[in-house]
Amino acid sequence: MTEKTTSARRIQGKVVSTKMQKTVVVKIDISTRHPLYSKPVKTNKRLKARDEIGVPVGAEVIVEECAPFSKEVTWKVVEVIKQPGKKEK
């Protein structure tokens, strides 16, 4: 038998709210080119993600697309990249 592997989308973002139970709001910065002027345009998007780890506000995380947990929550927190307040060496 062969195993079917699916590659779910993974996106890096920053946690901006943890006021819900087991759900966090993650802000994702998107950089695209303007179709007419070819100038880089920055936008952002806010996703709701399931949080089983317990990440604080300000943490850099990786979220992965998954089956829906509720009407708006279709992402889950997979990994914490950087905790808030900790400096890199």
Domain definitions of the chain by residue range: 10-82
pLDDT tens column, 36-67: 999 999 999 999 999 999 999 999 999 999 99
Identify whether the C-beta of residue 13 lies closer than 8 Å to the C-beta of residue 63: yes
In the prediction, which pLDDT does 68 show?
96
Alpha carbon 59 to chain centroid distance? 11
pLDDT tens column, 17-34: 999 999 999 999 999 999
Please give the Cα distance from 42 to 12 (Å, whole number).
15
pTM of the model: 0.82
The CATH homologous superfamily to which domain 10-82 belongs is Nucleic acid-binding proteins (2.40.50.140)
**Structure-block tokens of residue 41:** 């345009």
Collapse the DSSP code of 84 into the 3-class scheme (helix H, G, I; strand E, B; otherwise coil) and give the result: coil
**Structure-block tokens of residue 57:** 């506000």
Instruction: Tell me which DSSP letter residue 61 carries.
Output: E
